[in-house]
Amino acid sequence: MRRLRVSTSILMALAFGALLSFSSMQQVSSQQQLPTPNQILEHEAQVELGLAEGSLKQPGVSGGVVTTYREMTDRLSVQPGRAGPSGPKRTVGCSSSFPGEFKNVKASQDCSLRRQAEEFIVFNPTDPDNIVAGQNDSRLGFNHCGIDFSFDRGRTWGDMTPPFWQFMLLDGHVADAGSDPAITFDADGNAYFTCIIFDAVAAANAIVVAKSNKEFGGSFFHSPANITFQTYRTLPLGVVATDTDPTVANDKEFINADRNPGSPKKNNVYVTWTRFSGGHSPIYFSQSTDGGATWSPGVEIDGSNLAICTSPVAGPCNDNQGSWPEVGPDGTLYVFFGNTNTPGVGINQIVMVKCPGSADCLTVANWTSPVKVADLIGTHPRQTGSNPVTGCPGGRRCLPPNGYRVPEITSITGRVDPTNPSRLFVTWADFRNGGPPCNTGSTATSVPPCNNDVFLAVSTNGGTTWGSPIDVTPAIQFGPSAQWQPWNAMGPDGTLYVAYYDRHYGDCEFTGCNDITLAVTRDQGATFAYHRITTASMPNLVVANNPLQAGFLGDYMGIDANSFGAGIVWGDTRGRDGAVDEDMYFAFFPAGKH
C-alpha cells in the first residue's frame, strides 16, 4: 500500500493549531460564530455614517481606529471616482523623493496605492544617524501599522509591518487590524513599537509592544521576552492591555522611555492611553521595568480637580483623549492630555499630571492633581452625515474645503527643556481665532478662509502654572488661514521645533492643498523662524480623486530632534504616477539653520 507523506512544516502547523484550538475552546467555540461587536466602535461608525447622533462633549475614538473599523465592515460609503493612474509596474520597495531645500524622501516603501498616514518618528540616542518611524499602513489590506527605519539620517529607508498578527486576543482570535503607531528608544538603543490591535467585527482589542534590540536599530522587531532565541521569535509580545468586553475600547496609546543617564528609573518604558468605558474616557498608565517583556496593570491617572473639571459633575477629570507622556532628566513623568469635563460645547482644555522621579508611579496617590495648561477650543465646523464631496466623516470637525478631520484633542505634545528642567513646553492647534465666514458651526455652510492656529504654552516652574498661549501662526503674518495638527520636538540645546500642516501658501486656503511648515524658536517662544518643509503643495484628497482615503490624513504627524537637527514625517498626498494617494514622507532640518 502506498504511503502519503505530509511535510514536517505542515505537521508542525497542524500540531500548533490544535494546541491553539484546544486552549481557546473555552473562550469561543468557533471562528464562524457571529461575534459581538465592540459597542463603542460600532457607535462611532454609525455617527460617521450619519445613522446616529454623536456627543458634542464626549471625546471621539481616534480616527485611524474608526476608519479601519468602517473599512473592515465595508461601510466606507465609497462614491464612484475617476480611474486610477497609469504607469510602469514596480516591485515592492520603490523609493521616491522631491528635490528642494529640504529634500522630501518617501519613508514608507510600499509601491501600492494603499494608505500610509498618521506618523511617528524617533532618533536613536546612541546613533544619531539611526531613525525609526511608523505609520498607519494598509498595504496588507486592513490597517496594520507600518515601521520604517534608516541608518543614514533619512537619506534611504527600509520598511516592514510589525509582528503583531500571531498574537491571540482574549476572544481566541488573532487580530485583524491595528492603528495608532508609537515608537521609543531606551538609553541603550533598544527600540519599542506599539499599536492598538483589534478584531474586525468583534469586541476584542489590545495594546501590544514589540522590541528591536540595540544591535538591530529598528530594522526588525521581535518578542521582548527574555527567552532563548528571543530575536527569532514574535511571541510572546509585551501586553499593556487586552480586553474582550464590548463596552470597552483601548485607544490612542503613546509610548516613551526614560533615556536619562542620571535618572533613578533609567530604561523604564511607559505607555499611556485612553480607555473608553462606562460613558467616560479616562487616561491609563502602565510601565515595564524589564525591557518591555512584562507590563504593570493599568492605573487611572487623570485624577480630579473641582476648579477645572466641572461637568457633568464637579471633580473627576475623566473625559479625555490624546495623552502624551514625557520624561524629565530626573525621571519625573509628565502626562499631557485633552479634557472635556467643561461646561461649554467645544470649549475644552489641556491638562497635565505628573509623577516625581523618586516616586512609584503605579501608586495613584503619587500623581499630582490635574493642572490646566490652556483652553482647547474645538468650535471649528462640524459635519453632519458623511460629506460625499470632501469625505469629512459625520460627527467630526473639518475645515472646508478639506475633508480631513482636525484633531485638536489628539495633537497635543509636551516637552521638558533639557537646559532648564523646570521649563516645560506644550503645543496644540485650535479655532479660538476662527471667524466669519468659517464659523457657522457646520461644514455645509462654512467656507474658507478658516483661521485655525497653532499655539504654544510655557511653564517655568515644572508645570505648576502656565503662561498665556502664544500664537505660533498669527494672522498678521500668515493671514486668516488654517494651520493644524502640530507636533513638537526639543533639541538638546533647548531649541523647540514645531511642525504642522499649513494652508497659507498660494491659493491652498481656498483649494484645500496644503504644506508642512516648521517653526523654530530658540528663545522660548519670543520669536520664531519659519521654514517651508514641503517642496511643493500637496493636493487636496477628496472623494473625486481617492474615495477610499478621503477624510483621513491621520490624527497626528511626527517630529523628533537630536544635536544634528530635526527629523519630520508627515502624510503626503503627492502619489506616484499622478495618483492622489497618502504616503509617508521625511525631511531633515539641520540644527543651527536660521
Quick one: cell of 571? 502624510
What's the whole-number mean pLDDT along residues 124-152? 94
Q: What is the pLDDT of residues 453-479, one digit of tens each?
A: 999 999 999 999 999 999 999 999 999
Quick one: cell of 554? 491621520
Is the predicted pLDDT of residue 8 greater than 50, yes or no? no
DSSP letter for 382, please.
B
Contact between 447 and 438 under an 8 Å Cβ cutoff? The reply is: yes
Residue 394 — very low, low, confident or very high, per pLDDT cuts 50/70/90? very high
> So what's the pLDDT on residue 33?
53
Residue 306 — very low, low, confident or very high, per pLDDT cuts 50/70/90? very high
Q: What element of type H or E holds 509?
A: helix 508-511
Q: What is the pLDDT of residues 53-111, one digit of tens each?
A: 778 777 888 877 877 777 666 665 544 443 444 433 334 578 899 999 999 999 999 98
Which of 5-9, 208-212, 248-252 is predicted least confidently? 5-9
What's the whole-number mean pLDDT along residues 387-407? 93
> So what's the pLDDT on residue 77?
52
Q: CA–CA separation, 551 vs 236, rounded Å?
A: 36
Structural domain boundaries in the chain: 35-80+93-590
Counting Cα atoms < 13 Å in the Cβ hemisphere of 218 gives 33
> So what's the pLDDT on residue 76?
58
Q: What are the beta bridge partners of residue 122?
A: 132
Contacts of 160 (CB under 8 A, 6+ apart): 146, 147, 220, 221
Phi, psi of 154 (to 5 degrees): 90, 10
Of the chain, the percentage scoring pLDDT greater than 90 comes to: 79
Q: CA–CA separation, 346 vs 430, rounded Å?
A: 10
DSSP letter for 576, please.
G
- Choice between 239 and 77, residue whose per-residue pLDDT is larger: 239
> So what's the pLDDT on residue 487?
98
What's the whole-number mean pLDDT along residues 236-243? 98
Neighbour tally for 146: CB within 10 Å: 28
Dihedral through CA 149, CA 151, CA 157, CA 163, nearest 10?
A: -30
Q: What is the pLDDT of residues 252-263, one digit of tens each?
A: 999 999 999 999
Contact between 256 and 185 under an 8 Å Cβ cutoff? The reply is: no
How distant, in Å, are the alpha carbons of 83, 251, 280, 346 from that of 55?
37, 18, 12, 11
Contacts of 162 (CB under 8 A, 6+ apart): 144, 145, 146, 147, 178, 193, 195, 210, 221
How distant, in Å, are the alpha carbons of 301, 302, 353, 370 from that of 314?
17, 14, 18, 13
What angle, 0 to 180 degrees and rounded to 10, lies between the N-to-C axes of helices 39-48 and 63-72?
Answer: 90
Fold that domain 35-80+93-590 belongs to in CATH: Neuraminidase (2.120.10)
Q: CA–CA separation, 435 vs 317, rounded Å?
A: 30
Q: CA–CA separation, 92 vs 430, rounded Å?
A: 39
How distant, in Å, are the alpha carbons of 48, 81, 401, 498 from that of 553?
16, 19, 14, 18
- Choice between 74 and 32, residue whose per-residue pLDDT is larger: 74
Taking alpha carbons only, the member of 280, 275, 202, 284 closest to residue 244 is 202
Q: What is the pLDDT of residues 171-203, one digit of tens each?
A: 999 999 999 999 999 999 999 999 999 987 889
What's the whole-number mean pLDDT along residues 427-435? 97
- Choice between 237 and 143, residue whose per-residue pLDDT is larger: 237
Q: CA–CA separation, 381 vs 363, rounded Å?
A: 41
Secondary structure string (H, E, C) spanning 272-334? EEEEEECCEECEEEEEECCCCCCCCCCEECCCEECCCCCCCCCEECCEEEEEEEEECCCCCEE
Residue 32 — very low, low, confident or very high, per pLDDT cuts 50/70/90? very low
What's the whole-number mean pLDDT along residues 254-274? 97
- Choice between 429 and 72, residue whose per-residue pLDDT is larger: 429
Is the predicted pLDDT of residue 525 greater than 90, yes or no? yes
Is the predicted pLDDT of residue 397 greater than 50, yes or no? yes
> So what's the pLDDT on residue 594?
79
Q: Which pTM value belongs to this model? A: 0.90
Residue with cell 459633575: 313
Neighbour tally for 330: CB within 10 Å: 16
Task: Tell me what the pLDDT averaged over the chain comes to.
Answer: 90
Residue 495 — very low, low, confident or very high, per pLDDT cuts 50/70/90? very high
